[in-house]
Amino acid sequence: MKKLSTYLFLILFSFQTPSWADDIRDFQIEGMTVGDSLLDYFTEDEIKNALKNQYPNSKKYTVRLFDSLPKFEVYDGVQATYKTNDKKYKIYGLEGVLWFDTTDNNIKNCYKKKDEIVKEITEFFKDELITINEDNDKHVADESGKSTYKSIDFWFNSGDKIGVLCNDWSEEMELADRLKVTIDLKEFLNWIDNEAYP
């Protein structure tokens, strides 16, 4: 099965022979994709030592952030989600993050990169996508209403999803703007919608 890494969108895609993907697993972030085992890419010690997070209403899934590792070619950090008691560390959700300084010029660079990735996803998965949802709004985490986001979600016949998002944080939030690319399996998305939050 042909695999396409996100960095191909940014660097090598124009050198590929045209062909179309038929499965969300054809899309990779730093060589990884959903359904893979984290143990194929990290040692168990690296996984356990990575920054850990869990959702407030259920401990079914664990999130690990692998931040600024030398092995990453495209992203500043990668976040992976697996079932808490799974010794094989199967990936159910994957996220690549690029950080941008909070300046007008850099958020424009974020939007430009987002548009490039969106175009390539649309072309690469054109026969498998069932809906494409676009959302531009204020970020709920900023009570001042000054922080915004622009996102596009690509939904597959399988119920799986790829998302591309830019966060434009206000100066008051003291957070770096970011580009986020996510791959999520249907099972994990259903859990997020129904169990993860109180």
pLDDT exceeds 60 at position 2: no
Q: How far is CA 83 from the centre of its chain?
A: 17
Residue 165 and residue 149 in contact, taking contact as beta carbons nearer than 8 Å: yes
Q: Is the pLDDT of residue 19 over 90?
A: no
pLDDT at 18: 36
Sign of CA dihedral 1, 9, 68, 111: negative
Considering the entire predicted model, what is its pTM? 0.84
pLDDT at position 117 over 50: yes
Q: Spell out the alpha helix ranges (H) of 34-103.
A: 44-49
The DSSP line for 142-190 is -TTS--EEEEEEEEETTS-EEEEEEEE--GGGT--EEEEEEEE-HHHHH
Average pLDDT over residues 6-21: 38
Q: 67-110, pLDDT tens digit by residue?
A: 867 779 999 999 999 999 999 999 999 999 999 876 667 889 99
Q: What is the pLDDT of residues 135-170, one digit of tens each?
A: 988 998 888 999 999 999 999 999 999 999 999 998
Q: What pLDDT does 16 receive?
A: 33
Query: What pLDDT is attached to residue 63?
Result: 96
- So what's the pLDDT on residue 171? 85
In one letter, which amino acid is 169?
Answer: W
pLDDT of residue 11: 33
Residue ranges of the alpha helices (H) in the chain?
Answer: 6-7, 44-49, 104-124, 186-194
**pLDDT tens for residues 23-36?**
899 999 999 999 99
* pLDDT(195) > 80: yes
